[in-house]
């Protein structure tokens, strides 16, 4: 059985109070603090355009992706994380595909840092370097059109 056959996609908005969900979300928030995590959770609770999905295996959430729908066929990825022990087996790519198929997206965009830019490149995103917004921290715009 393939690794991805064991995965289920779930809506995480109703589970935002759970510490494991917040910890997973914190992996994709720059310099996470409890206040920043709460603000992100509030956004997902309040906005009809923002969605937070999880990747579950055997009842345990091991990854998440948060998007904002822009128009009918595009989305901005605001959060994408996979538990450290579960990385490099395709779960992040699987989450991207789940979002793309669920909303029939033809365009995905993300802004990321040096640590994650190679992931987006490997998933077929076009990458462009952005001007430094914060001293010493390089950011990248990643775009995928399908």
Task: Please tell me the predicted confidence (pLDDT) of residue 30.
Answer: 86
Q: What is the pTM of this model?
A: 0.92
**Topology, domain 3-104:** Aminopeptidase (3.40.630)
Nearest to 91 by CA among 14, 9, 1: 9
Confidence of residue 2 (pLDDT cuts 50, 70, 90): low
| Domain spans, the chain | 3-104
CA atoms of 69 and 72, how far apart (whole Å)? 7
CA atoms of 97 and 123, how far apart (whole Å)? 10
Instruction: Judge whether residue 134 has pLDDT over 90.
Output: no
Task: Please tell me the predicted confidence (pLDDT) of residue 83.
Answer: 95
Task: Please tell me the predicted confidence (pLDDT) of residue 1.
Answer: 39
Beta strands in 16-124 (DSSP E): 50-57, 60-70, 74-82, 107-113
């Amino acid at each position: 059985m393939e690794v991805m056959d064991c995965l289920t996609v779930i809506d995480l908005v109703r589970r935002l109070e759970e510490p494991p969900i917040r910890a997973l979300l914190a992996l994709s928030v720059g310099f996470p603090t409890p206040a920043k995590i709460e603000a992100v959770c509030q956004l997902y609770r309040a906005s009809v355009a923002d969605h937070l999905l999880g990747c579950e295996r055997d009842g345990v959430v091991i990854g998440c992706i948060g998007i904002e729908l822009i128009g009918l066929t595009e989305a901005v990825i605001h959060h994408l994380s996979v538990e450290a022990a579960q990385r490099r087996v395709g779960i992040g790519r699987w989450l991207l595909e789940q979002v793309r198929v669920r909303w029939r997206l033809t365009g995905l965009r993300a802004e990321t840092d040096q640590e994650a830019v190679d992931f987006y490149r490997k998933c077929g995103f076009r990458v462009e370097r952005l001007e430094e917004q914060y001293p010493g921290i390089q950011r990248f715009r990643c775009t995928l059109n399908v």
